[in-house]
Amino acid sequence: MNNAVTTFIKCMRWPLILAIFSLGLASAHAQQYELPADGSTIVGAPRLVTPDQRNTLLDIARHFDLGHHEITWANPQVDTWLPQGTVLIPTEYILPPKPWTGIVINISQRRLFYFPTPAKGEPAKVITLPISIAREGWSTPLGDTKIVGKHKDPAWWVPKSIQAEQKAAGVEDFPEYFPPGPDNPMGMLAIQLGFKSIFIHGTNRPWGVGMRTSHGCLHLYPEDAVVLFELIKPGVPVRVIDEPVVVGVRDNQLYLAHYPPVAEYGTSLDPMTRAAVALAPYLQSAVQPPEQDKTRPVFNVDWDRVHLALSRPQILPISIAPASDTQDDRLAALPVEPYNEEPFGMDANNAMPPERNSTTTPQ
């Protein structure tokens, strides 16, 4: 079967896929959590799995809706292509600073958080998805904007700047135009932001999700693009931040996560200063007279744990409270689950959502 016929068949299947996902099955992949009602700002929980010999770390990451960086940084001693032993699934997230409305994107964290307006009588929830960010030399604007459009089967006229970049890299025949279809770098679904030429969209190279792959846009797994596209509407607010050090609260303890900073944003703050800035709102309670707010918790910090968390990428939030359980203690208490899912295969290496049955829930 030639490529043109294959593309036609895949595109004809696309409306059916959207119809199926619109019935509510899309949420089977995306990570969705109820927002904490106890003052906590952390959702999810880590898991441990032992993969069979068919799966790579990237297969495991995509199954659990993690990006390339999350699975590899969380498992620095595990071979990406032939993982053996126990693999940490870091599906625990510190939520971005409030307000929790619309979409919030943390560039350094390489993760999108969507806070939909809850239906009457329903608890507030957050949906979180991994993203690719801009490659070196490019950047996504920071600040507030909104969703201004949604596009199915977008075509892509390649900007002159990108054509020049490709030519300088020795690619002489890079197309000026990509028609709609599963081989389009814009993916099959694109959500347009108010920032000029910036979209949240799928990708024809899903194994790069979590890496630095774009020219300013934010890439999603194709299956995640379906989820977000069906849920989102024009007018939804979008806030783009860059916070390499994030601090959260759970069970009246402070937790910290640390992501390598993105150089294009130009800050000169060292990691310890970043941590001090992120911790400041929580530590103010320690110097305020208790009469001002007797219900406000007083947090204590083990600065040795802070230094440890800042010494390397710390994808899984780590407690920085004195005398609390260490991360090794937490993980040692977890059950180890077998992972024997079918690998995604070459047919999942384009902009179409993969056709794949699963026996293990990603959440």
d(CA 90, CA 45): 7
Residue 255 three-state SS = strand
d(CA 277, CA 310): 14
Place of tokens 């991360």: 327
Residue 102 three-state SS = strand
d(CA 144, CA 142): 7
**Which listed residue (29, 217, 219, 258) is catalytic?**
217
Catalytic annotation on 201? yes
CA 305 to chain centre: 25
Transcribe 333-353 into DSSP letters. Answer: TSPEEEE-PPP--GGGSSSSP
What would you measure as the largest C-alpha separation in the chain, in angstroms?
76
Burial class, 168, CB count within 10 angstroms (exposed 0-12 / middle 13-18 / buried 19+): exposed
Q: Phi/psi of residue 84, each to 5°?
A: -135, 160
Burial class, 242, CB count within 10 angstroms (exposed 0-12 / middle 13-18 / buried 19+): buried
**Which listed residue (29, 63, 68, 201) is catalytic?**
201
Sheet containing 47-51: order of strands: 87-89, 47-51, 336-339
H-state helical runs in the chain: 3-22, 57-63, 68-74, 160-168, 222-231, 271-283, 303-310, 327-332
Place of tokens 């007018």: 235
Residue 226 three-state SS = helix
Place of tokens 């929790």: 100
230: nearest Cα among 202, 265, 266: 202
Sign of the alpha-carbon dihedral angle for 333, 334, 338, 343: negative
Q: Which residues are catalytic?
A: 201, 217
